[in-house]
Structure 1
Amino acid sequence: MTQVEFELACAALKQLKGPVSDQDKLLVYSYYKQATQGDCNIPVPPATEVKAKAKWVAWNQNKGMSRMDAMRFYIAKVEELKKKEAAQGL
């Protein structure tokens, strides 16, 4: 996997028309952050900030994952979402 393939997957994700589940959004977000920034480097948001906390938890679960592995998982997830959308005929 290369940086170019990762960037193409980032662009492809923006082109999806169908609904993406919150769980899939968090997974894609967590791989993107791990691939672009490495391990989670921000403090835990307060529990009252539900969305921010969910994003933090998702990203932090990838702690120790290499950037290249995160790119691979990101690309694979985007491909899965593209296939799901194609199967729905959107």
Structure 2
Amino acid sequence: MPLDELGARIEFLELDEFARAVESGEPTTLQCAGLLSAEFDRRQWNLLRRLHADEVLGKMFPSITHGAVRLCVDPLDGTSRWRA
């Protein structure tokens, strides 16, 4: 169901920029941009830029937990870590 239709049916549902990015198939780009603009994650910026520029790893969904950069195959499944 398109997000606009879902939002119209369920009035209390707040559809943010990330929901729209998931719908359009671009959540990884939005997530990477968000992490690269967060001062809290500044120590990982260089690594994030390198990962995002990589042909294969740049398609993985990045997150940072406990100071570690993690990559997921499926942006909606935190356990879908990439394996070489």
Fold shared per TM-score above 0.5: no
Which bracket does the TM-score occupy, shorter chain normalised?
A: 0.3 to 0.5
Structure with the largest fraction of strand: 2
Greater length-normalized contact order (CA 8 Å, ≥ 6 residues apart): 1
- Indicate the structure (1 or 2) with the bigger Cα radius of gyration: 2
